[in-house]
């Protein structure tokens, strides 16, 4: 990594203090860091701390005589292998999405011909605002990559999505972009979200899966360099950067999409697939009649995980399943491991508060080799650990 360089733009947000730790991690890994500190950023961290940790000069002014004499701002924008914006404030994102060039950070983002990674950090309302949504979509369409934001308690006292990703996660994303990542050249298939089984054209049988954990895993795999196909049921999650997404509704559509995506080096089945579907999907809307409510007959859906694990000749080398349990977690997970023929199972207790649809997860990894219990962590962190474990298995 010693020849790799990052141009690190530090925006004005309380999360800027985490960027100091990120700088330390990068330097420890031998990555060169050249910092640009915005005026607002300098309200949160000092140029001296940043410069000391980066072991380089801090650039701040667009029209600084000394800086321009040393290195023009256009040259500066191309002086690294990757441009990282952390924290990427709403203001910096808006400037970059609209091509503004009123200060050194904005000019750098407009002038650079290098890949750009942003780690957004802002209040949840600002993150959810239609203007930020538009800017995010524009930046993604322009090829900018994103890591985070995470969900959690914020410095402003509110709770929600908008916390900057942890330094270790940003570091992983940077390494993935710099070196291609340990999953470079590998194709990983991920299923996520619920399935919806039609009863008639307007009614479905479905479940409460948010798709959050599956989407986080797809994003983490992509950050480690994998080509990721994400087969997703109906959820409102944004597609992670670098992931190719196939939207489906029913379990049978999910299976067909997975089979069409083969061959894959690994498959991670996170989806909460409906075990049953109505035996008949009515072509026209069922009407209330004199006979009272209809009686539903359910038939079993195909098991996607078991089908992939038993696939010949295209069984992925690593097949990972999930087990959401309410009791006897380890026992049920072991039974599932054998029944479904997968290599390991990520099991969790969904009766724990905040797991279903929430930000955190407490999981255990059950394989033939035994059981590993992981500490409670954010779903993004759990996702990255799972992605790393897959990379190890495929190595």
**One of 107, 229, 250, 301 touching ligand CTP (CB under 6 A):** 301
Asked if 55 is part of the footprint of ligand CTP (rule: CB under 6 A), the reply reads no
254, two tokens: 């999910």
Note whether 305 binds ligand CTP by CB under 6 A.
yes
DSSP characters over 175-211:
HHHHH--TTTT-EEEEEESB--EESSSS-EE------
Q: Among 10-18, 290-298, 321-329, 349-357, which window interacts with ligand CTP (CB under 6 A)?
A: 321-329
Distances (CA, A) of 386 to 189, 213, 219, 233, 374: 14, 11, 11, 21, 11
**Secondary structure class of 112 (helix, strand, coil):** coil
- The rounded distance, in Å, linking the Cα atoms of 339 and 328 is 16
Phi, psi angle pair for 175, to nearest 5°: -60, -40
Q: Give the rounded distance of the alpha carbon of 356 from its chain centre.
A: 17
Among 55, 61, 142, 275, the residue binding ligand CTP under the rule CB under 6 A is 275
For the chain, percent helix, then strand, then coil, each to nearest 5? Answer: 35, 25, 40
Nearer Cβ to ligand CTP (74/198)? 198
Binding of ligand CTP by 273 (CB under 6 A): yes
Kindly tell me which of 139 and 270 has the beta carbon lying closer to ligand CTP: 270
List active site positions: 156
C-beta closer to ligand CTP: residue 171 or 344: 344
Q: Decide: is 383 part of the binding site for ligand CTP (CB under 6 A).
A: no
Give the residue with the Cβ less far from ligand CTP, 186 or 336.
336
Toward ligand CTP, which CB reaches closer, 160 or 341?
Answer: 341
> Shortest gap between Cβ of 342 and ligand CTP (angstroms)?
8
Residue 88 near residue 119, CB atoms below 8 Å = yes
Grouping H, G, I as helix, E, B as strand and the rest as coil, residue 65 is: helix
Dihedral in degrees, nearest 10, Cα atoms 343, 238, 241, 244: 60
Site for ligand CTP, residues 210 to 269, rule: CB under 6 A: 251, 269
CB of 278 to ligand CTP, least distance (A): 15
- Site membership for ligand CTP, residue 322 (CB under 6 A): yes
Binding to ligand CTP by residue 324, rule CB under 6 A?
Answer: yes
User: Does 323 engage in binding with ligand CTP (CB under 6 A)?
Assistant: yes
Q: Is 83 or 270 the residue whose CB approaches ligand CTP more closely?
A: 270
- For residues 85 and 92, is the Cβ–Cβ distance under 8 A? yes
**Counting contacts by CB under 6 A, is residue 35 touching ligand CTP?**
no
Q: Does 177 bind ligand CTP (CB under 6 A)?
A: no
Is residue 321 a contact point for ligand CTP (CB under 6 A)? yes
Q: Pick the piece of the chain touching ligand CTP (CB under 6 A) from 12-20, 232-240, 297-305, 383-391.
A: 297-305
CA distances (Å), origin 51, targets 27, 33, 118, 264: 12, 9, 21, 44
Residue 339: CB minimum distance to ligand CTP, A: 7
Q: From CA 41, how far away is CA 265, in angstroms rounded?
A: 43
> In the complex with ligand CTP, which residue's Cβ is closer, 77 or 210?
210
Question: For residues 391 and 395, what is the distance between their CA atoms, to the nearest angstrom?
Answer: 6
Q: How far is residue 370 from each of residues 319, 344, 366, 373, 374, measured CA to CA in Å?
A: 16, 10, 6, 10, 13
Instruction: Report if residue 190 touches ligand CTP, rule: CB under 6 A.
Output: no
CB atoms within 10 A of CB 129: 14
User: How far apart are CB 353 and ligand CTP at their closest, in Å?
Assistant: 20
Binding site for ligand CTP (CB under 6 A): 191, 251, 269-271, 273, 275, 301, 303-305, 321-324, 336
């Amino acid at each position: 990594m010693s020849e790799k360089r990052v141009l690190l733009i530090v925006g004005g947000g309380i999360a800027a203090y985490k960027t100091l730790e990120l700088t330390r991690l990068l330097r420890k890994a031998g990555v060169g860091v050249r910092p640009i500190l915005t005026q607002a950023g300098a309200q949160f961290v000092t140029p001296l701390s940043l410069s000391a940790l980066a072991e380089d000069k801090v650039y701040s002014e667009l029209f600084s005589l000394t800086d321009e004499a040393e290195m023009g701002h256009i040259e500066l924008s191309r002086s690294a292998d990757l441009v990282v914006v952390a924290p990427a404030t709403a203001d910096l994102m808006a400037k970059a999405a609209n091509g503004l060039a009123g200060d050194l950070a904005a000019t750098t983002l407009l002038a650079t011909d290098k890949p750009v990674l942003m780690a957004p950090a802002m209040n949840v309302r600002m993150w959810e605002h239609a203007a930020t949504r538009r800017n995010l979509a524009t930046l993604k369409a322009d090829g900018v990559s994103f890591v985070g934001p995470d969900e959690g308690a914020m410095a402003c006292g509110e709770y929600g999505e908008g916390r900057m990703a942890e330094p270790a996660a940003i570091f992983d994303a940077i390494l993935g972009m710099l070196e291609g990542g340990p999953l470079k050249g590998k194709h990983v298939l991920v299923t996520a979200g619920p399935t919806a089984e039609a009863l008639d054209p307007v009614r479905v049988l479905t479940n409460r899966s948010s798709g959050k954990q599956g989407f986080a895993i797809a994003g983490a795999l992509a950050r480690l360099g994998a080509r990721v196909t994400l087969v997703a049921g109906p959820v409102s999650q944004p597609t992670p950067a670098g992931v190719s997404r196939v939207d489906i509704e029913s379990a049978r559509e999910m299976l067909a999409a997975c089979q069409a995506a083969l061959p894959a080096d690994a498959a991670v089945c996170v989806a909460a697939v409906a075990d049953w579907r109505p035996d008949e999907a009515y072509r026209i809307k069922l009407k209330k009649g004199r006979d009272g409510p209809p009686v539903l007959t359910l038939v079993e859906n195909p098991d996607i995980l078991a089908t992939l694990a038993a696939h010949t000749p295209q069984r992925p080398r690593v097949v990972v399943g999930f087990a959401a349990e309410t009791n006897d977690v380890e026992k049920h997970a072991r039974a599932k491991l054998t029944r479904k023929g997968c290599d390991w199972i990520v099991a969790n207790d969904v009766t724990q508060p905040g797991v279903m649809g929430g930000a955190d997860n407490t999981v255990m990894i059950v394989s033939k080799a035994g059981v590993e219990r992981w500490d409670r962590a954010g779903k993004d962190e759990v996702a990255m650990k799972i992605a790393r474990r897959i990379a190890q298995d495929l190595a």
